[in-house]
Each structure stands twice: as structure tokens, then as C-alpha cells.
Chain A
């Protein structure tokens, strides 16, 4: 197909696609994201294909392979349309029954329907399942309708219409004003107002500007960005083209880590399709706007998520942070004004343009608008990728959506914000999630990791775990981050081994407070947070470890568990360093 050279061709194309769409009686949608595949979705797809073929249903029943549906716990899963019947945790053996009963006879296979682990009640329809009921899937609901290999599916989902609107009906200033009015804030974690950031970049005079999509997602336990790129890559690309138009950039980069191969594959494919169809390249949709996207694979250094490091890496140099100012908007990639936004931020842009700032700003709290995608993981019943409106409480996310704590344990804390975030205990469960509340509580929004911990977790050990991560991932440039985090880590290792000393806590606090203000970039500035927030909310646990050489959770093997047993010999030496 030839590239589109006029916006009207977009509507024509969509109409044609609608016409050509096969009239399937039913459609089986298979969730085939990374965790779907890991749980065996490819086997399900194969079994479904075979079964449909065997029964001669190929013409009347559709089989759609899509990206992640979000409910990781129940992968592999299928959704049967038009009813929206949800079957989870499938095995290839289940396939004949699904075809036999549901496809041919319109009956439900009760045993495959989701059963609430608390009440045992079964939910047949996807929309009824508690995991989905409280979500607001503005960005992710389309995942069900989109085969990421096919740009046509994105067009059918009204894709690139926001771009057409922007290119032909809006000035760059109007686009920025719209994004600003919508109240969109950076989803990478810091929550800087996106419209303002765009304005900074635009108002910097330069012969060229760049925009970057930060898809380096490196926080342990998070997978929102890669799953957006793998499931609906065009939404990100469309957002980027709109942003490029608003800021006057002619080139953009998607910096995506190669450790997310599906995201790399899908975004590359989508970029190529967008080029073929005239959404990227010269004279986009026949306008006078030119823009193209390069895809750069990151090698998996955590610090590459930091914007100055990321740019250094794109430039082909060692990924090292540099002092800001100058901010990227002033002197970024190759010294030119550059705007970096996270995947999720870019994905929000077409939505805002399509539905308007006014609609968008209705969602969320007074200062945090829209929805936020979280990776809900840890000791939770229903882990998965959840999209919720800003302002929802932690309790709602953890208990209503996530179904509460696994294995009858008690909630202990929730970790948000990744290695730069913090741990929040039960008294914060009713905290409404937004950027400012989380910071106030001693954590951060971060890019959207949400790790739920139960009573079997040792907070000291968790803090040690995070410190281990950040000190390993420090770029090594500035002293507080390179040496300070290592000192903190060593102290924490000592405490978990029963070698803790009274002054360790003051030392940790002193180091933490200093590293936070003295470090060069966000990595170091955020690094002490897991320790400081556990010290703030779980200080007693540290004291137990140090004074009584006890680890209540029984995680620190060199210490005695608290259940009435005698404390072991203090400071017992361990032969092997288990932490290395």
C-alpha cells in the first residue's frame, strides 16, 4: 500500500478495513504478551488453530493474537467475543472443551471461568471479574483489539486520527496547550508536567531538536512500558509524532532495552509500518511536517533510564549521568534541545488529543490527572498489569483489584517507585495514589512498580536487596552514589548477618540523607529511599536485628526467628557470603 498523502485517506482506509473485516460469529482473543508466552500461550494458540481447523470453523470463528491483557496471574488466558467470556490458566487440553461448549453451543465451561479465591464465586465475563472491575483501562483496553503485528488493527481502533487532527487542525502551540491543560505529568516517575516540558524544548532556539521515548524500564518488577510497546506500539509512535510536531523535532529515538525483546520487535515493526503508510518520514499524511524515529537498543544498564545517561548512550558513549542544568530541553542529545518522555506518557498523548483536555482532566485528582499503569506484583493474589485512575487508594488496588495477600498471610508493606521509591506500611493503605501524596508518605510514584509484601518479608533484608541493586547499577561517576551506596549496603549486610551495631542506624541515616542531596543524578538521589523509608516505618525491625539479633520474618538466616526461640549466638560468622 502507498503512503497516505492526505488526512481524508485515513478515514477511507478505516472504512475499507471495516468493510473487509470478516464477519466472524465469534472471536477468540489470546493474550500473547511476554508473560502469556512464558505461561504457554503459544501452545494454546496452536491448539486453538488445530481445533478450529479440525472442526472447519476457520471461516466463522476468528482467532486474534494480541499483546498482554493484564491479568498475569491467570495467563495464558483467552477472551471470547462478543460476549467477553474470560477463561484463564488454560492448558492446551482445555481447548476442545472451549470450542465444543462455548464456541459451538454458547455454553460456559464453568471450570475454566475465574473463581474468586476468597468466596469461590465464579465470574464468567471479563468485565465482572473484580481484577478488572475497578480498573480504568484507557490505554490498555485496546490491547484486546489489536494484533501488534497489524497496523490495520490500530487504524480500526481510531489510530492516527489524533495525529491527523494535530497536523491539519492545530498549531504546535495549541497542541502544547492541550497537553498542558490536560494536566498530564511525566509517567517516568518524577511527574513533571508534560506540557511545560514540551514548552521548554520548543522555546529553546536551535537548528534542530530531538525527542526521545524512554523505554529503558529498568526497575525490578516493572513491566508496564515494555508491555505497552509490545501490545500497542503505534499508540506510542503516534504520541511521539504529535510531540515532535508540537516541539518542532525532526528526529526521534525510542531507547528500548534489549532485555525486552518483544517490545523491541513490535516497536521496530510498527515504526516500519508507520513509515510505509506515511505516518513517519517526509511530509507526514501530506502535510509539511517531516519526522522519523530511530530505535536504539539499550544493553540493560539501569542508569540508562536516567535521561542524561540515556542520551550519552544514544550518542554511542558510556552511559554516565551529567549534571543538570543544562537540562535536556536546553542542551540534550548532541547538544541540541531534547525532550525525553516515558513510554506511558507518549501513549497518553493521542488519547488527550482525541478526547480533549477537558475530558482528560476530569480523571484523577486535583494535581494528578489521568490513569496510571502499575505492575502489581509480590505476595498478592492477583498480580498483573493494572491501569487505575489517579486518586484510587492503595487499598483498592491491593485488595479489590489484587485480591489481597496470598496464602493467608498478613499485609506488611507495599513498595512503590522502584529502587528510588519507598515502603509504605498498612496505615497508608487508604492513601489516594497520586504523585504528591506518595512523595509525602516517603515513597514515589516511580514508573509504576507496586510490590506487595507480607509478614514473611524482612524489611531490613528488603532494604539490603534494593541497596545491593542500586550500588551495583550506579554509573560510578559521583562519589556519594558510587561509594556511599556501597557503604550503606555493607552496613545492611552486617545487620542482616547479626553484626549490626548501635550506631549503624545513625550512620545509615546520615549516609542516606547526604547521598540524597549530594548525588549527581536521580539514581543516587533516590537510592537511599528504600532504606530511609524502612527506617521511618519499620525502625523497630532494625532494632530487633541489631539489639536482639532476631529476624521476625525468619529471612535473615544468621539470626533467630522471633517465635519464642532462643536467640542464636550474636554475630555468628557465616562461612559463605550469601549476598554476593
Chain B
């Protein structure tokens, strides 16, 4: 700790922080606009100028590192004068009638003078009104008048991109957006263009954001202290009167969101600052789609039953009776339950319990990565080692090397990417192995590329680097080492090995980086998981990671994919069900939150339990409207293995009910007394009791407010898995024909196809989607 004085007060500050940080941490306010947490020092607004004893002139607190015995004065008449003048200059380029209006007070209290200033000056019509940093600074400096003539810079407002407008007439050039875009998100979409009075924030060649590599993550909108960047959906909308914390359900990262409500209605969602998962960052979906998903006109609002060939609205009681009777009438072993891994743990648990009790079956999932994860775990467990899949994204910076294989993380797990990027910027070496190009390559120390289907061969190639660089003693010291060595040797050139996939330099660079680095992490994504033969590839990747002393973490994609694996490790793939359907083995099918393509082969009775009128809605025999995640409480386990509880934010729309409620009531109708849960906490207790790994799901644990993780065996296994060398035989080739090198990003929430529903997301994916071009979705 460093000791310094601010305004005569002794203050201790951490080395490497700035005077501004130290002052703020100690409740000393210094006005500032361009400084922001997590961004590099800029020193552009000059509002935070302070005096330092023994130094000439004035220095910006945001750019001055704390030093031992620094003696800082933050308030003198001259400093105040300088700040006022500088602020006046800022306002001379920013419509400011709202800030210094004589009728400001009345206006704020009674909204009496809304129309007295023209639109150009913004006033209460400014999208940022009420949350504008300029308003705060104006209050802090008690500014009442701007003595300098105003310049309206007359920029055309950029409205060409989805979700937010860019009105640079309100911009004060603090460059927060530029910095967050390049320093935090690694996108570098924005820059300051031109100089002097012409300076303006722009993309390269002033193209739309969508043409400039922007992922519409919205970080710039959140960084902007003015109304220059503003969410379009909020225009004309009153400010939230309440905010609540929530966990984003749209991918496995599980970002903390701050959801704004007005009169109990969902208004917007912004990333939560300080959240251990995402610390103020989100992605396009969490930032801009949450409200529209919950309030979608596609919502299923009423229970329905098919009567005389037509779906008709019925009461919950009738609907549950109808479904209970239909399910009870089907013969044993002829019923299926397909679950979405986007449902909360509680919902999934009750659903599975229901399936076992009444349908005499295990639930199946239709998310391929969840299944691959299960398979991976099964494979490792039967072989001895236990995988350790927990990690903390925020501590990735401690990793010496991060290997990303088969994942376009910036697109599939955007906020996990933020953490990987932070590590890469701090010196962690990034190795990328994919079948296509992505933003990752820009930061990679080694970029490996293979054709789909070559992965196994390529992994053997990489494995052989260790053959040459590890002594015999090493192989004999680890379980399975000898066998693996033998199998790698068998696959050596000279045998029946296909030609090399990587150059010698690439293999050496890969091997050496892994060899040098401490604490490596391998991320294995859907590009390797969601494909035929994933287990074999995972086994080899596991070996490679273990040889390098690194960890292997398979990435789930959906918000509760990890939870699904923990709850139902033996769940089967939906493909089995679909095949069974074709063979006429199913009498009923219960779809909870998913829309698998049923095609022509239908069972006698289909239950659609969803929040949206999705693909199977029209043909369903019963529709049970389910609450969205925002309308019920539930627990989710994110990609890190972190257990997060998401509170109920709003009342369910229409007659929608939480999934667990529906299953419980149905179970009661079917005569069970094992489903007497009052609320989701009851279920959480039961999960906590029955599954040791999920012990901390219990609300008792979560209330303590500490980070809860899935419990793992403390000692991860080190066993290596010998496998036969792979060649590309005909069957594998056929299987791969249908396989896409870049698995699509699952832009679904339950039965709602987000890409179809939201034009902005569709445009984004068309521009910068995984295939770099338009896709059907």
C-alpha cells in the first residue's frame, strides 16, 4: 500500500492506481468525465485537474499514479475556476439548455416546461435525461450559465445500425466508447477521426457498425456518459423506477444483468457492474433482446387443448386433466420427454423426476453440446480420471497459455472472450485451433487450422511433439502413459498415417508454448463437441491437456447446459427419440421448452410446454404456457460451474406458469404425492440433498452471498487414454457430410427463434455470423 495525502487527509492506496481512484475510494469527489473504471487513463476532459505540492501547474488525477508521500489538493478557487471553464467549453459543444435552464427546477419537479426549448437542445427529450453524467457534473460544479457561444456541430444522426443510435451532436469526445471497444472488447470498431474542431468518433471510412466488425455488444452505449449513444428501444420510454439483478439466460456464460422495471414492466437490461462473471459487460442478446423476448408477441399465453381437431383455450385445470389422462393412457415405454437445457435446475429436476415417475423414461436433451459433455464425462469416469470443469473466468489472466479449440468464443461466449482477451493483453499466450477464421486469430500466438474431419489426425500430430520431448520415465510415471505412447508411436509417419495437417513450425510453436507456460487452460467448444465422434476427439484433447499439465474445459453453450449434465448425466440425445418416432415407438411426446423438428412422424399425443408459440405449437395436442426465466425464480449453472440464482423479476404474462409448477400440478393430477413443492426453493433443497455435487444449490448456501460452485473431486485425474489411431474411413466421411465446420450460434430462447424474430440480430449474424455470411435460421 502506498501512503499519500489528499486535501490533507492521510490515504492508503494500492500501487498502480491513480489519484482519482484513491480519491473516489475515500469519498473525495473529483469531477471527471473521460475516466472510467476498467479503461486506460485518457486525460482528455481535464475536469479532474488537481494540484500536487512540489509539482508545477496542474495534473489530471486520472493520469497521475499514486506515489509515496504525494500531497494532493483537489479543491482550490483556481481549480474550481478551471473546471468550470473547461466544463463550459464542453457544454459549448453539447446542447445544454437542459443543464442550465432557468426553469430546470420546475421542469424536473412538475414537468411543466417540456416544450420550451427546441429539440436540438435535447432537454427532457434527450435519451440520457436523468442518467447523464453531464447533469451530474453540472450539479457538482454548480454551473448556472455557459458564457461561450454554443456550436451545434450538425452531424447526421447514425440510425443505420440495429439497437442503438449514434448522435455525435451530443458527443463530448471523451473516447470512452473507443477505449472500451478496443481495450475491453478487442473489437477496435470505433476511433476518433479527424482532428481539431472536426474531431469526431467514427468507424473506419465511416461505414455502418455492422460493416466495421462490430458485434453490437453495447459496451460503448454503456460507457457513454452522454446521450450520444442511446438504445433505440428506450426512446420515448420513461426511465425505470426500479432495477433488479438477474442472470442472463441466453448463453452459458450467465452474465449478471441489471434489469430495469417501470411499474412492474420490464424496460431494459444492462450488464451488471461488479458482477464476478461479466463485470459490466454483456453481449448483443443480453443487452438488447431481454425485454423483447419476455414481451414478445409470440408468447404462448393460455393453456390449450386440441378438441375436434382444433386447439381451443381451456382453463389450467382442464388442460392439466386432459394431459394427465392422455399420458396415463399410453402404454409403458412409449413416452418421451425432451427438455431444454435453458430451463432452470429446479425445472429440469422436476421434469426429470416427472419423466421417471410417470413416463418411465429418462429425459433427453436436444442440445448437442450438453450431450457431448455428458458423454465426455462418462468416458472419463469409466476410465478412471475425473474431469475438473470448474474455472473462474476472472482468474484466466493467471493462465500461462489458453488453448481455444473448436470455438469461436467471441461469438459463442462473448463475455468469456472478454476475460480471455484481458488475459491475452496481459501476456497469456493464446493458441487457437479452429476450422475457420475468427477474431481470436488476431490475438493468437499460434493459429492452427484444420479441415473438418481432420481433427483426430491433427491431435495425434500435436501429441507426437510430446513423444519427442518427454523422457521415457515421464511416460511410465503416469497411468496410461505407456499405452498412449505406444498408440502415438503406432500413428507415426511411416505407418498408415494421412499426411500432416500442420507445419513443423506450427507444431513446434504449439508444443513449446505449452511446455513453457504454467497453468494452461484448454477450452473445447462446439466445433469439436457437436459432431460425430466427439468422444474420441475429446479423449485425445484430454491427453494433450494432461501432457501439458493443463486443464481441459468443454464449453457448454446453453444457459444451464452444465446444470443439465450434473442433474441428468445419463440423458440421451434427442436423435434417439426422433428415430424412435420414425419407427412408431412413441405414444406421447412431452416437449418442455424445446422445438425439435418432429417432421411427419408424430406420436399420438404431443404436449408443448413453452413460453412461445414455436415450431410445434400449431400441431400440438396440448399447449401449456410456461413462464420465462424472468417470471420465475430458478438456479442456473454457468460455463464456469458457478451456481447462480436468478430471481423472479416480473409477473408471468397471461396465464403462463413456471415449468416446475406445471409438472408438479400434473403429477398431482396423476396421483403422486412426491411433488408437493411450494416454490422453487423447496426444489433447490431437494436437489441439494440428493445430489452431492449440487450441494450448494440450496438456498441456504446461496443466501450467504458467496460464490457457489459445483462440487468437484479435489484431485483431478491424470490418467491418459490410449486410443486407436484414426483414419478417415467412409463412414466417418458420410457422417461429416452433414456436419458443419462452424456450428451455428444457438440463437434460441426456448421455442423462440431470436434470429427470426429480431431483425437486428439477424442482420448482425448475416454480417458477422459464424460462417461470415447469411445462413438459414
Of chain A, the residue at the smallest CB distance from B83 is: A518
| Pairwise interchain contact B195-A518, C-beta atoms closer than 8 A | no
In B44-90, which residues have CB < 8 Å from any A CB? 44-46, 49, 57-60, 63, 81-82, 85-86, 89-90
Q: Please tell me if the beta carbons of B41 and A323 are within 8 angstroms of each other in the complex.
A: yes
B192 and A483: CB pair below 8 A?
no
Q: Is B196 an interface residue (CB 8 A)?
A: yes
> Which residue of the partner chain B has the closest CB to A477?
B44
Task: Find out whether the CB atom of A518 lies under 8 angstroms from the CB atom of B44.
Answer: no
Q: Which of B81, B191, B196 has the most CB of A within 10 A?
A: B196
B173 interface residue (CB < 8 Å to A):
yes
B127 within 8 A of A: no
Asked whether B195 lies within 8 Å of A478 as measured between CB atoms, the reply is no
Cα separation A323 to B92 with both chains bound (whole Å): 24
A487 to B192, CA, bound (A): 21
A47-55, A509-517, A538-546, A554-562: which lies at the B interface? A509-517
For A482, the chain B residues whose CB sits under 8 A away are 173, 196-197, 199
Give chain B nearest CB distance to A524 CB in angstroms. Answer: 9
**B192 pairs with A511, CB closer than 8 A:** no
Q: Is the interface of B mostly helix, strand, loop or mixed?
A: loop
- Asked whether, in the complex, the Cβ of B90 is within 8 Å of the Cβ of A320, the reply is no
Q: Report the Cα distance A199→B86, complex, angstroms.
A: 37
A479 x B44 contact (CB < 8 A): yes
Are B192 and A318 touching (Cβ within 8 A)?
A: yes
- In angstroms, how far is the closest chain B Cβ from the Cβ of A82? 52
**Can you list, as one digit per residue, whether each of B29-53 has a CB less than 8 Å from chain A (1) or not (0)?**
0000000000001111110010000
**A474: which B residues are within 8 A, CB to CB?**
195-197
- What's the Cα separation between A484 and B46 when bound, in Å? 12
Q: Which residue of A lies closest to B175 (CB)?
A: A477
**Closest chain A residue to B172, Cβ basis:** A479
Please tell me if B148 contacts chain A, counting CB pairs below 8 Å.
yes
Q: Pick from B85, B92, B191, B199 the residue with the most CB of A within 10 Å.
A: B85
Closest A residue, CB atoms, query B90: A479
Residues B147-180 near A (CB distance < 8 A): 147-149, 151, 172-173, 175
Residues B191 and A318 in contact, CB atoms below 8 Å apart: yes
B474 within 8 Å of A (CB atoms): no
A490 within 8 A of B: yes
Could you tell me if B196 and A476 are in contact, using CB atoms closer than 8 angstroms?
A: yes
Does residue A439 face the partner (Cβ distance < 8 Å to B)? Answer: no
- CB < 8 Å: which of A303, A471, A483 contacts B90? A483
Is A301 an interface position by the 8 A CB rule? Answer: yes
Q: Give the residue of A322, A323, A490, A514 whose beta carbon is less than 8 angstroms from that of B82.
A: A514
Most chain B CB neighbours (cut-off 10 Å) among A303, A490, A518: A518
Provide the bound-state CA to CA distance between A510 and B88, in Å: 13
Query: B46's contact among A475, A476, A480, by CB below 8 Å, is which?
Result: A480
Known: A318-B191, A323-B43, A477-B44. A518 touches B49 (CB 8 A): yes
Closest A residue, CB atoms, query B178? A318
Residues of A within 8 Å of B110, CB to CB, are: none
Q: With a CB–CB cut-off of 8 A, which chain A residues contact B196?
A: 471-476, 482, 486
- Do A517 and B58 have beta carbons less than 8 Å apart? yes
B92 touches A483 (CB 8 A): yes
Q: Given the complex, which residues of A lie within 8 Å of B175, measured CB to CB?
A: 477
- Residue of B45, B191, B195 touching A479 (CB-CB under 8 A): B45
Question: Contact at B149–A510, with CB atoms within 8 Å?
Answer: no
Among B179-195, those with CB < 8 Å from A are: 191-192, 194-195
Check A518–B43 contact: CB distance below 8 A. no
On whether the beta carbons of A483 and B93 are closer than 8 Å, the reply is: yes
List the B side residues contacting A303 at CB < 8 Å.
195
Q: Are A483 and B46 in contact (CB under 8 A)?
A: no
Q: Provided the pairs A482-B173, A487-B89, A520-B43 are in contact, do residues A475 and B195 lie with their beta carbons within 8 angstroms? A: yes
- In the complex, what's the smallest C-beta–C-beta distance from A449 to chain B, in angstroms? 21
* B contact residues, total (Cβ < 8 Å): 35
Max chain A C-beta neighbours (<10 A), residue from B44, B149, B172, B192: B44
From B46, B92, B173, A519 is in contact (CB under 8 Å) with: B46
Contact with A along B133-154 (1 / 0, CB 8 A): 0000000000000011101000
Of A480, A483, A487, A490, most buried by chain B (CB within 10 Å of CB) is A483
Residues of A within 8 A of B43 (CB): 322-323, 477-478, 520
User: What's the Cα separation between A473 and B60 when bound, in Å?
Assistant: 23
B86–A480 touching, CB < 8 Å: yes
A-facing residues in B91-120 (Cβ within 8 Å)? 92-93
A residues 454-481 near B (Cβ < 8 Å) are 471-480
Whether A478 pairs with B89 at a CB distance below 8 angstroms is no
Main secondary structure of the interface of A (DSSP, over half): helix
Residues of B within 8 A of A301 (CB): 195
Instruction: Determine the distance from Cα of A473 to Cα of B195 in the docked complex, in whole angstroms.
Output: 7
A518 near B149 with CB under 8 A, answer no
Contact A518 B148 (CB under 8 A): no
B82 contact set on A, CB distance < 8 A: 514, 517-518
Chain A nearest Cβ from B219, distance in angstroms = 20
Partner of B60, one of A318, A323, A471, A483: A323
Which residues of chain A are within 8 angstroms of B192 by Cβ–Cβ distance?
A: 318, 320, 476-477
Given A320-B192, A472-B196, A476-B194, residue A484 in contact with residue B44 (CB < 8 A): no
Query: Which parts of A474-532 form the interface with B (CB within 8 Å)?
Result: 474-480, 482-484, 486-487, 490, 507, 510-511, 514, 517-520
Interface mask (B734-753 → A, CB under 8 Å = 1, otherwise 0): 00000000000000000000
- State in angstroms the CA–CA spacing of A479 and B49 once bound together: 12
A478→B197 contact, CB < 8 A: no
Chain A positions within 8 Å of B63 at CB level:
323
Q: Give the complex CA separation of A215 and B761 in angstroms.
A: 50
Report whether A476 and B89 are in contact in the complex, using a CB–CB cutoff of 8 Å.
Answer: no
A490 near B58: Cβ-Cβ < 8 Å: no
Set of chain A residues within 8 Å of B173, measured between Cβ atoms: 476-477, 479, 482
> How far apart sit A359 and B564, CA to CA, in the bound complex (Å)?
85
Residues of B within 8 A of A486 (CB): 151, 196-197
Whether the pair B44, A478 counts as a contact (CB closer than 8 A) is: yes
Give complex CA distance A475, B195 in Å.
5
Provide the residues of chain B in CB contact with A320, threshold 8 Å. Answer: 192
Choice from B46, B81, B147, B151 contacting A520 with Cβ under 8 Å: B46
- Judge whether B199 and A479 touch: CB under 8 Å: no
A518 and B46 contacting across the interface, CB-CB below 8 Å? yes
**In the bound complex, what is the Cα–Cα distance between A301 and B194 (angstroms)?**
11
Known: A322-B43, A323-B63, A478-B44. A511 touches B195 (CB 8 A): no
Q: Would you call A479 and B46 a contact (CB within 8 A)?
A: yes
Q: Roughly how many angstroms separate A478 CA and B62 CA in the complex, as a whole number?
A: 13
**Chain B residues whose C-beta falls within 8 Å of the C-beta of A322 in the assembled complex:** 43
> What are the residues of chain A within 8 A of B89 when measuring CB–CB?
479-480, 483-484, 487
Please give, as numbers and ranges, the residues of chain B lying within 8 Å of A510 by CB-CB distance: 85
B85 touches A511 (CB 8 A): yes
CA distance A475 to B43 in the complex (A): 13
Q: Which residues of the other chain, B, contact A507 by a CB distance below 8 angstroms?
A: 147
Residues of A272-322 whose CB lies within 8 A of B: 301, 303, 318, 320, 322
Contacts of B372-403 to chain A: CB distance below 8 A: none
Are A487 and B44 closer than 8 Å at their CB atoms? no
A487 to B86, CA, bound (A): 12
Contact A476 B199 (CB under 8 A): yes
**Given A476-B196, A483-B92, are A518 and B41 neighbors across the interface (CB < 8 Å)?**
no
CA distance A519 to B148 in the complex (A): 18
The docked-state distance in angstroms from the alpha carbon of A473 to that of B147 is 25
Roughly how many angstroms separate A487 CA and B90 CA in the complex, as a whole number? Answer: 11
Please give me the residue from chain A that is nearest to B47 by CB atom: A479
Contact with A along B309-346 (1 / 0, CB 8 A): 00000000000000000000000000000000000000
Cα distance A514–B172 in the bound complex, in angstroms: 19
In the complex, chain B residues whose CB is within 8 Å of the CB of A475: 195-196, 199
- 5 cross-chain pairs, A with B, having the tightest CB-CB distances, nearest first: A476-B199, A323-B63, A323-B43, A483-B89, A474-B196
Q: Write 11 A-B pairs (CB below 8 A) sorted by A numbering.
A: A320-B192, A471-B196, A472-B196, A474-B197, A478-B44, A479-B46, A483-B92, A484-B89, A510-B85, A514-B81, A518-B82
List 4 additional A-B contacts (Cβ < 8 Å) besides A483-B93, A486-B196: A323-B60, A475-B196, A480-B89, A520-B43
